[in-house]
Structure 1
Amino acid sequence: MGKVVLVTGVARQLGGRFVRRIQKDPEVERVIAVDAVLPAHQLGAAEFIQADIRQPTIARVIAETGADTVVHMDVTGIAPGGGSRAMVKETNVIGTMQLLGACQKSPNVRRLVVKSSTNVYGSAPRDPAVFTETTPAKSLPSGGFAKDAVEVEGYVRGFARRRPDVAVCVLRFANILGPTADTPLAAYFSLPVLPTVFGYDPRLQFVHEDDVLEVLRIAAHDPRRGTLNSGTFNIAGDGVLLLSQCSRRLGRPTVPLLLPAVTWTSSLVRTLGMSDFSPEQIRLLTHGRVVATDQMRETLGFTPRYTTAETFADFARGQGPGLLPPQAVAGAVDRIAALSAQGSGHLFKHSAD
């Protein structure tokens, strides 16, 4: 009998691609695809079950399908279909709690893979140059997807203590980019003009969506000789890029803004067409973040196909021509300048008060 793999979050492009990829593996007999909404893309020969992981019904799904491997991909920073931030948090945190409770009750589950993020390290001015998997965060994330990821990992550690017989693998992905990436940072780089924080040029790391699929596949399988497919691993492409390098490679102009003027940030991104850009993303674009990937290579046995620069280049190719018509650029810059003036005015007013 081959493996029975249950995958959550399959309505998103990345989850759908992973489902189509994992069912081709000769060791896999069945793939159970789970999501609260119907996917718009094909899932191949996978069995789709419409179920909300926030509800106790997920326990019945795991029990009835006899899943022995669970790949939890329904941890994300963007809601499908323009859903609210509250819905995202519920799915990330409450959904993970329900899923882990279901896995704990199932005697069949032997492997759990969780899609996490390097956002758990936060972004702070006194951060180390490079985070390892055991480096404590200088400043824990206070909100947004980053805080969700911290909470999710806490629940996963609790599950691992209660079910030591289950191999648990947590993959902390750097910023995921690629031609079809649907992430807050991908949305930021798609803006016609990139607002940046005055005086800062952060170091950034990226991981290609194709490499994400491959490392998830490796983690879902029993370990090969000399590797250990359990534990917590940073996943990122080699090298780093400065934000200024990213803007130049996209051909998009930047507008430096004062860091203290944070009260108008949400208005700024809404004006530019982004519905969700958390303070944690602002901190990332201020202080950056770089992680070590030694354990990814030496212990997990995975080497990314794409470097950080190659990942960004592939993403940039999918963005089309960088420079927009002068009128569009000028209009975007004018909107940013107006909001910047409003933010600075509020800042000076509060200082005077």
Structure 2
Amino acid sequence: MNVAVGMSGGVDSSVAALLLLKAGHNVSGVLMKIWPGPDAPAAARSACYGPDEAGDIQAARDVCARLGIPLHVIDCSGSYEDLVLRYFREGYLAGTTPNPCVRCNQLVKFGILPDAARRSGLEFDRFATGHYARVEHAAALGRFLLKRAVDIRKDQSYFLYRLSQAQLATVLFPLGELAKSRVRTIAREEGLPVHDRKESQDFYGGDLGDILGRDGREGDIVDRDGRVLGRHRGVAGYTIGQRKGLGIASLVPLYVVGIDAGTNRLVVGPENETFRRACMVLECVWGPYDDLPAPAEVRVKVRSGGRFVPATISPLDGGRTRVDFAEPVASVAPGQSAVFYDGETVVGGGIIETAD
């Protein structure tokens, strides 16, 4: 089988390519170039988007040379700007907290990249990545289901929940059954030059102000009663649940509990005011069915690093869903994704619109 592997220059995609090659497949590497330039040294935090991209490309070239497979570098920087960065900027300026990785996976990494690779003349049957997740075909449903990885600590199904049935039907996740420690061991034993390379910790390693811009629109920081407590440096620099960087002296720690982009105000309060019992979710997508047919009991995550919380999800008109948490949940941020699980299976998810 001909398989194109989305390479990143990291250990995970490199081992994914290695395992597919050992399984007897005809493997080619494809790498999406998303930084428009110029190049620069690495930032303090390793990230998937930044001026040190040339180092990632070279690392991928070294791995592909070691494996004896070709590497095709596809310039996706224009699409990434239009589909991901613009969405990211507009969301923050509107007072929400968008997740760029969720959007990138759906539209660019599993969309633009393989499509562009095919248009360039590369022929392949499946597209693989080094993500920690699994896909199974449910014959009774006639659908492909996204599932959590065996290594729960590295599971990335949250970031992949928006993949369509067409995308899931042709994707391979060779690392879904492996622990991260085993992946590192395989890379070392096979002499891959990236076996000890650090992994990306964020989507951008520098100051987010570089991407969001610095509009200088200062405004008031207020409490629930509207009492002015301080000044902020622009609502785009804050997120729900944030405590650090507020510059407010208080007897108790204060957190961002609301962002009103219309009035250019931040609302802050004590920790107990960060908790919510429900949220409204829009732009929902579903795994086992086209639309949620009836209320269902699930476990939900409202942030990639958040905990699972039991909840009831109920369908509403217009592709929206109400989520009622079984217990209060802190820092439910509009713009982030709420992802629903039934055991190991991703039931669906959507973008948080409001929380109450």
Q: Identify whether the pair has TM-score above 0.5, normalized to the shorter chain.
A: no
Higher helix share: 1
More strand by share: 2
Query: TM-score normalised to the size of structure 1?
Result: 0.30
Query: With structure 2 as the length reference, what TM-score do the two structures score?
Result: 0.30
